[in-house]
Amino acid sequence: MAGPSAVRVVWIYPDLLSTYGDQGNALIMAYRARLRGHTVERVDVRSDQPIPAQADVYLIGGGEDRPQRLAAERLRKDDGLARGLEAGAAALAVCAGFQLFGHSFYDDEQGTLPGLGLLDVTSKRGTVRCVGEVVGDVDESLNVGGRPLPRMTGFENHMGTTEVGPAARPLSRVSAGNGNGAGSGADGAHQGRIVGTYLHGPVLARNPALADLILGWVDGDPKATPTDDTWPNRLRAERLA
């Protein structure tokens, strides 16, 4: 799509994957899309419903091992997401959702399980639980209006470690916290119009420029969303401090 028109935001499996306020990502994406002059259609797709192949942005959040396993089983049988991405949609995948988008992930009961192969990343079981605040400098190849994205902040709580393959790039270089795993030095990954991260918070509330980046892919306008970001910037300053 291009220019002011409807933006369709699909939130995948809120009944399984929505920890630490990840619903906020859908709220922020819709809010900033409206500020850009778009009408917004938000579609919440439960795990017993098919995923529409017609969307502009797909969002998926985090969850525990069993919900993640169930989500993987259903997503592997439903090609709606893959068809939507092939048609040019963008996606934001958080924590368990980030792992699901990769080639494989680890489940405590069943061991290594196949992911969706949408991102060139591989996730395994770590030896240290990563919990707490994260700060990362965003990959310089990502920018809004010609300006690099500001530092990302968020909250992590996971046991997984994720390796980024050559077809993808780390989303950010971590200066505090763990991100993709203890010692990895990075958080998340991006490839094409897909962004993955371990950061909750929710991540778009704490980093609205990331929402602007994704919306720029959707509507073809790379400029920042025209809004007063006083309150988001106060939250960012508080977290960074």
- Work out whether strand 39-45 and strand 57-60 pair parallel, antiparallel, or are unpaired: unpaired
Tell me the average pLDDT across 132-157: 94
Domain total in the chain? 1
For residue 83 the two structure tokens come to 């068809």
For the segment 150-167, the average pLDDT, to the nearest whole number, is: 95
For residues 60 and 39, give the distance between their C-alpha atoms in angstroms, rounded to a whole number.
21
Position 68 scores a pLDDT of: 96
- Report if residue 34 sits inside a domain: yes
pLDDT for the residue 182? 74
1 is a domain residue? no
Does the active-site annotation cover 130?
Answer: no
pTM score, whole prediction: 0.95
Query: Each residue of 115-130: b (16+ CB within 10 Å) or e?
Result: bbebbbbbbeebeeeb
Q: What is the mean pLDDT of residues 211-223?
A: 95
pLDDT, residue 235, reads 86
The residues that bridge with 144 in the sheet, in sequence order, are 147
pLDDT given for residue 4 in this prediction: 53
pLDDT in tens, 10-22: 999 999 999 888 9
Has residue 224 been placed in a domain? yes
Asked whether residue 181 is assigned to any structural domain, the reply reads: yes
Tell me whether residue 160 is exposed, middle or buried, using C-beta atoms within 10 angstroms of its C-beta: 0 to 12, 13 to 18, 19 or more.
Answer: buried
Catalytic residue among 38, 95, 158, 190: 95
Could you say which DSSP state residue 103 is in?
A: S
Model confidence pLDDT, tens digit, residues 28-44: 999 999 999 999 999 99
Active site residue 38: no
Residue 7 to residue 10: CA distance in whole angstroms: 10
Per-residue pLDDT for 45 more than 90?
yes
Which tens digit of pLDDT belongs to each residue from 77-135?
Answer: 999 999 999 999 999 999 999 999 999 999 989 999 999 999 999 999 999 899 999 99
CA angle, residues 192, 34, 135, in degrees to nearest 5:
50
Whether residue 202 has a cis bond before it, omega within 30° of 0: yes
**Res. 3 pLDDT band, cuts 50 70 90:** very low
Of 121-130, 194-203, 228-237, least confident by mean pLDDT is: 228-237
Q: Catalytic: which of 38, 103, 158, 200? A: 200
Interatomic CA distance for residues 95 and 35, integer angstroms: 28
What are the tens digits of pLDDT across the range 159-173?
999 999 999 999 999
What residues make up the domain containing 227?
A: 6-240
> Strand 143-144 vs strand 172-176: parallel, antiparallel, or unpaired?
unpaired
CA distance 32 to 174: 26
**Among 21, 68, 61, 83, CA closest to 235:** 21
Q: Looking at residue 173, which CATH number applies to its domain?
A: 3.40.50.880
